[in-house]
Structure 1
Amino acid sequence: MNQHAAQKTPVNRLPNKIYVSAFSTRGVKEINQDAYAYHISSNELSPSHVFVIADGVSSSTVSQVASDFATSEFVKLFNIAPEQWSIKTRAEAIIKELNARLYTRTQRSAFCYTPEKGYVCTLSVAILTGNRLDVFHVGDCQVQLVSDNATSPVLLTHPHRHVSDSEPSQTYLSNALGVKANIDIDHTSHTLSASSTIAISTDGVHEFVSLPGILNKINGAEILSENQSALLVHEAFNQGSDDNLTLLLIKYQIGNESGSNDSEPHVHLCKPAFKELETGDKIDGITLERQLYSSARSHVFIASLQAHKGTHEQHPVVVKTPSTDFSQSPEMLNVFLIESWFARRLNSTHVVKSPTHLNLGLKHRPTAFYSISDYVKGQTLAQWSFDNPTPSLEQIRDIIEQVGKGLQAMHRQGILHRDIRPENIMISEQGHCTIIDLGSAALADAPSLYSSAPIPGAALFAAPEYFLGNVGTERSDLFSLAILTYFLLCGRYPYHSKLAHCRTFAEQKKLKYETALDPKRPIPTWVDSALKRALHVNPDKRYSTLSEFLYSLRYPNPTQHTAYEPLVKRHPLFVYKVLILALIFSNLVTLILFN
């Protein structure tokens, strides 16, 4: 992000008004490693305005990538986060995820031994909800606040910098995204009792211009000038700023009716008594019509939405609620909500969607822990395979290719499914396949961040590396997809149940792949070869991508010989030459011996 034009966005919410002016430039440097993003909400169900700024670290040549990623991703994830989460829970969960993803990217790069040169940046976030301001801070940016009833601006952040032991005049950044596996986050909340102005700036601005006096003047003005941020940035540049310069100014005018200043959700995480929802219950404009499924972890219902005037008839939805035992732990409840958060990040016709309350037209925030997803008509692939015990190879290819597309959509968003099996796939009457359960899903770059299950999903479909205590990768999902292919083709498993009992790699290496070839079914040898490679116990020896595996199921690999062929068939000319030479040699020997 090299330079942004100044912007002003007035939005009326009841009597309140908000104005934003933002500007960023590279200054004297070749690259702008700063970045910013913001979102002005017009949604009454989620009335939070989000402002994010990131400052790159000068020791890194790729810090601008981290800054752009952190700012844009924060706004995106915040707007689709579970409605039951408080502002604090949302923001801290997102910052921890951003840190984990940047840290993993650095560890996988050439900067693994010098993380300060990798994908690192600072991050400061200001969130306005009604009259409440929440600030989350990592690094050395500044957030300042001035209000009508205050005598001077308030500094809401403190720089995460340490003084050098060898050179006391020098300081160094002690906390930033992407440097360490864990991140320390400062959180400050402030109630706005009068109209206020907020400034979020990188050190290239606030170290060269005095913002407090300027903020007082801005707060006293009737509106925020469109180019105010640009003017202040240029003033800092003229004062000798030798860094990138970024400034966000937010002017928040509060009327007589200020709205709610409560950023906490309606749902209490530590609620001692949790009433299980049952068929017939009505909650938040949703009626639970029929129970589809029940387990020790959750209950699943088909539900209808309350009709609103002027709207068309709405399709049924699926509501998943936690069981009584599962709901006793706040941590477990948060894990329960992660499933819908992951689903909202995806855009694939082969993965179930989890709409927000706003998209559903609901007028109330959720008052209990539950997740909503689209209702997918059809039957599970488990039932389909029972009804179709001998599907054709083409039918299986079609199913696996659809499930593979769903997995590819997840992998593009950095999400692993980790529980591909027939029960988690719906197939419609027209043959359309949809992955419906993301309860075991995790981030590829931080598998343990949202899930602590050592062996996710069903053991018969789990990849071998999970049994060794290793984290999964995209090749783990590939293994599960290959197991599913083998199961649909043969009705059994390539290693039976032996794989789940192998807890060392040496034990796994002793396992023998059982061929899918069957004299009763016309299965090409090259299909069996493709399955054998995809089902290798060593992840490094499987296909590198899902697309490669899907291609190999449909097209034979001419470089891979899948069955023994006689030498005369493979190299006939060579065999004929050898035979001729042998005959000549035998004739010569005969002539010599008998003459």
Structure 2
Amino acid sequence: MQSLRVALGQHSQAGRKRINQDFHGAALPAEPRRSAKGIAVALADGIGSSAVSQVASAAAVHSFLDDYYCTAEAWTVRRSARCVLAATNAWLHAQNQRGDARFDKDRGYVCTFSALIFKGRDVHLLHVGDSRVYRLHAQAWEQLTEDHRIRVSSLESYLGRALGVGPTVEVDYRCWPAEVGEVYVLASDGAYEYLDAAAVQQALAEHPQNLDAAAAALVSTALARGSQDNVTVQLVRVEALPVGDSTRLSRQRAELALPPPLQPRMAFEGYRIERELVASARCHVHLALDLHTGARVALKTPSVDLRENSDYLDRFLLEEWVARRIDNAHVARPHATDRQRRHLYVAMEFIDGQTLGQWMIDNPSPPLEDVRQIVEQIARGLQAFHRREMLHQDLRPDNVMIDRAGTAKIIDFAAVHVAGLAEGSSDPHALAPVGALQYAAPEYFVGQGGTPESDLFSLAVITYQMLTGQLPYGLQVTRLRSVADVSRLNYVSVRDRRPELPLWIDSALRRALHPLPNKRQEALSEFIQDLRVPRQQQRHREPPLIERNPVRFWQVLSALLALAVIVLLGLSLGERLSPQRLATLDPRATLAKSDSTRSR
């Protein structure tokens, strides 16, 4: 399979100055790290007023190229790069605070920073300061960065943003699709102020196969045109991009054979099959004994009906990939082994217990405290996913196991969305879950994609079902087709089904189950807190009927309006039938009144 490939050239000189305060570097890792984290090119420029800024620029580039590749593979480029730069900035600022630079930042460990990261089929840009990144076109070059320099006058200016100036730093970030053949230029101010697109095109034309020579030629051109500063130029040309969604998992799948049907007492890949645990349309799970360690494991093999579906097989392998990157007591662990694998399967720890679905059948009306304890454990497992920029997306009672000690563990990671893996693919957004749709958040059904609040919604549905045995919206959510449909969802108060529960429990669930993600709790910890302690405004206030039960509110209101109409009609009819009114309408009564008047 074709992988990402670039051509790189770079050159730097002190120029007219005694010390070169620029620093540059690049990392072109081999596979599989290239697919997981990409190719990084970085440039830093120290400020001329400082005698130590060359240390800052060298530290910025070194730490970025080293530490970026140590961040989690599940993280996006944006999160990984910004975390590394935040740490570098904090270190530089701490050095400034220890010396005279705490009073004068122009004498401290301060530098600008620009970097390009090529990952998958995308280009990511990180930038702070006034070094620049350009994209070269046929007759011009496009500046991709913004100079963080504040102009006081035509003769005076200063850096508005740079690494090391303050305890925190705002780093610009951009991302766009890469194209084969395009050329990018990273340059310090001593270079770009004396270069133009024509000079770059000429250098590339003279050295088409040697970008180091082209970069050196551009440095010489800038110095010849009068540059008095350090001069640094980096050239990057995109040579090849991955075909389609070629990923590490796809390559691993291509190297593995599909397993044979597993039977009890059968030997398979160093395991002895004991019995079948689960057989479904999506997978087969067997209890097996590791013949080398004696451990009991759950062996998961692909469904026979889906073995020709490459997307399904990639997601099947994803389960073990995810499990190996999460270490949490409430998430199922992978079975560790260093044996060479020949077949496509997943080996996970065997959890001796029951699913949450079975627990709910055995406990149809559980105490509130029992529900809280289980929900809190599931929430801690979900937090482990969210810290690594993962969404479970298929949280349901059958995907939670409760062992004999009462510990809840999340299982089945085939639907997990990993931001770092999805980055650079044809669709990097979280898609609709592939499991039981009645637990999925409304936003999945209207094409908005998932967020951590979507997993929160699923957890709240499970909580509601544990308490009542029913779903808060029934099957309404699965019928959503547009954003307008979302507003018509009718939540049924948990107190309608269990009146003894506190009002504030219903308020907590109502908020977590709100059809709009931005109306839910902002974090899983907030939801757990709401299940434990009522909010201050809920302690002595009963929510109005329209909040507790909108349907009943409108039914009562309609009944009152109907009663009012009947009363008004009755009053109107009574007025028409009064003796005085009848007398005015009866001709005989009128005649008698007239005769009586004459006799007087």
Distance, in Å, in 2 between the alignment partners of 1:409 and 1:452 is 17
Residue 345, structure 1, aligned to residue 322, structure 2: no
Alpha-carbon shift at residue 520 of structure 1 (Å): 5.5
Helix, strand or coil: the match of 1:292?
A: strand
Residue 276, structure 1, aligned to residue 261, structure 2: yes
Distance, in Å, in 2 between the alignment partners of 1:285 and 1:393 is 45
- State the one-letter code of the partner of 1:122: I
2:348 corresponds to which residue?
Answer: 373
Distance, in Å, in 2 between the alignment partners of 1:487 and 1:139 is 43
Distance, in Å, in 2 between the alignment partners of 1:519 and 1:479 is 20
Residue 242, structure 1, aligned to residue 232, structure 2: yes
Change (3 A) 1:266 1:474: closer
Distance, in Å, in 1 between the alignment partners of 2:454 and 2:37 is 37
Q: How does 1:503-522 map to 2 (within 5 A)?
A: 503-518=481-496, 522=500
Alpha-carbon shift at residue 527 of structure 1 (Å): 0.7
Q: How does 1:325-336 map to 2 (within 5 A)?
A: 325-336=305-316
- State the one-letter code of the partner of 1:418: Q
Asked if 1 retains the 8 angstrom alpha-carbon contact of 2:124 and 2:174, the reply is no
Residue 303, structure 1, aligned to residue 291, structure 2: no
Helix, strand or coil: the match of 2:328?
A: coil
1:360 corresponds to which residue?
Answer: 337
Distance, in Å, in 2 between the alignment partners of 1:182 and 1:99 is 14
2:542 corresponds to which residue?
Answer: 563
Aligned match for 1:389, one of 346, 351, 364? 364
1:537 corresponds to which residue?
Answer: 515
2:117 corresponds to which residue?
Answer: 122
- State the one-letter code of the partner of 1:414: E
Helix, strand or coil: the match of 1:406?
A: helix
Asked if 1 retains the 8 angstrom alpha-carbon contact of 2:20 and 2:230, the reply is no
Distance, in Å, in 2 between the alignment partners of 1:292 and 1:277 is 12
2:159 corresponds to which residue?
Answer: none
Distance, in Å, in 2 between the alignment partners of 1:54 and 1:205 is 20
Aligned match for 1:420, one of 395, 406, 410? 395
Q: How does 1:405-444 map to 2 (within 5 A)?
A: 405-444=380-419
Distance, in Å, in 2 between the alignment partners of 1:30 and 1:562 is 65
1:321 corresponds to which residue?
Answer: 301
> Which string of whole-angstrom CA distances, capped at 9 and with x for unpartnered residues, describes residues 107-139 of structure 1?
xxxxxxxxxx999623599xxxxxxxxxx9989
Change (3 A) 1:66 1:547: farther
Aligned match for 2:528, one of 546, 550, 565? 550
Alpha-carbon shift at residue 276 of structure 1 (Å): 3.3
Asked if 1 retains the 8 angstrom alpha-carbon contact of 2:21 and 2:230, the reply is no
Asked if 2 retains the 8 angstrom alpha-carbon contact of 1:139 and 1:173, the reply is no
- State the one-letter code of the partner of 2:311: E
Alpha-carbon shift at residue 71 of structure 1 (Å): 6.2
Number of aligned positions between the proteins: 404
Q: How does 1:192-211 map to 2 (within 5 A)?
A: 207=215
Helix, strand or coil: the match of 2:495?
A: coil
Distance, in Å, in 1 between the alignment partners of 2:142 and 2:429 is 38
Helix, strand or coil: the match of 2:285?
A: strand
Distance, in Å, in 2 between the alignment partners of 1:137 and 1:460 is 35
Distance, in Å, in 2 between the alignment partners of 1:316 and 1:548 is 37
What percent identity do the matched residue pairs reach?
31
Aligned match for 1:473, one of 451, 457, 460? 451
Asked if 2 retains the 8 angstrom alpha-carbon contact of 1:99 and 1:182, the reply is no
Unaligned runs of 5+ in 1: 1-24, 79-93, 106-116, 126-135, 141-159, 187-202, 210-238, 246-263, 308-312, 567-595
Helix, strand or coil: the match of 2:300?
A: strand
Asked if 2 retains the 8 angstrom alpha-carbon contact of 1:298 and 1:323, the reply is yes
Alpha-carbon shift at residue 280 of structure 1 (Å): 3.4
> Which string of whole-angstrom CA distances, capped at 9 and with x for unpartnered residues, describes residues 64-121 of structure 1?
999978865656767xxxxxxxxxxxxxxx9xx856978999xxxxxxxxxxx99962
Change (3 A) 1:327 1:77: farther
- State the one-letter code of the partner of 2:117: T
> Which string of whole-angstrom CA distances, capped at 9 and with x for unpartnered residues, describes residues 355-401 of structure 1?
4xxx4243x2x111111111112110111111111111000000000
Alpha-carbon shift at residue 179 of structure 1 (Å): 5.1
> Which string of whole-angstrom CA distances, capped at 9 and with x for unpartnered residues, describes residues 115-166 of structure 1?
xx999623599xxxxxxxxxx99899xxxxxxxxxxxxxxxxxxx9964444
- State the one-letter code of the partner of 1:430: A
> Which string of whole-angstrom CA distances, capped at 9 and with x for unpartnered residues, describes residues 217-246 of structure 1?
xxxxxxxxxxxxxxxxxxxxxx9663799x
Alpha-carbon shift at residue 460 of structure 1 (Å): 1.3
1:400 corresponds to which residue?
Answer: 375
Whichever of the two has the greater Rg, that structure is 2
2:42 corresponds to which residue?
Answer: 56
Asked if 1 retains the 8 angstrom alpha-carbon contact of 2:122 and 2:176, the reply is no
2:272 corresponds to which residue?
Answer: 287
Distance, in Å, in 2 between the alignment partners of 1:373 and 1:449 is 29
- State the one-letter code of the partner of 1:301: H
Q: How does 1:65-80 map to 2 (within 5 A)?
A: 72=67
Change (3 A) 1:503 1:330: closer
> Which string of whole-angstrom CA distances, capped at 9 and with x for unpartnered residues, describes residues 2-25 of structure 1?
xxxxxxxxxxxxxxxxxxxxxxx9
Change (3 A) 1:411 1:350: same
Helix, strand or coil: the match of 1:328?
A: coil
Asked if 2 retains the 8 angstrom alpha-carbon contact of 1:56 and 1:121, the reply is yes
Distance, in Å, in 1 between the alignment partners of 2:464 and 2:61 is 41
1:196 corresponds to which residue?
Answer: none
Change (3 A) 1:74 1:333: farther
Alpha-carbon shift at residue 487 of structure 1 (Å): 0.4
Distance, in Å, in 1 between the alignment partners of 2:382 and 2:349 is 18
- State the one-letter code of the partner of 1:276: P
Asked if 2 retains the 8 angstrom alpha-carbon contact of 1:37 and 1:75, the reply is no
Q: How does 1:186-265 map to 2 (within 5 A)?
A: 207=215, 242=232
Alpha-carbon shift at residue 37 of structure 1 (Å): 9.8
Change (3 A) 1:451 1:179: closer
Distance, in Å, in 2 between the alignment partners of 1:554 and 1:440 is 30
Helix, strand or coil: the match of 2:289?
A: strand
Distance, in Å, in 1 between the alignment partners of 2:37 and 2:399 is 38
Change (3 A) 1:299 1:51: closer
Q: CA RMSD in A?
A: 5.2
Change (3 A) 1:506 1:435: same
- State the one-letter code of the partner of 1:298: C
Distance, in Å, in 2 between the alignment partners of 1:472 and 1:243 is 41
1:152 corresponds to which residue?
Answer: none
TM-score (norm 2): 0.56
Alpha-carbon shift at residue 316 of structure 1 (Å): 1.0
Asked if 2 retains the 8 angstrom alpha-carbon contact of 1:400 and 1:481, the reply is yes
Alpha-carbon shift at residue 475 of structure 1 (Å): 0.4
Helix, strand or coil: the match of 1:299?
A: strand
Select the structure that is richer in helix: 2
Alpha-carbon shift at residue 324 of structure 1 (Å): 2.2
Change (3 A) 1:338 1:184: farther
Change (3 A) 1:528 1:58: same
Helix, strand or coil: the match of 1:559?
A: helix
Helix, strand or coil: the match of 2:304?
A: coil
Alpha-carbon shift at residue 287 of structure 1 (Å): 2.3
Alpha-carbon shift at residue 283 of structure 1 (Å): 2.7
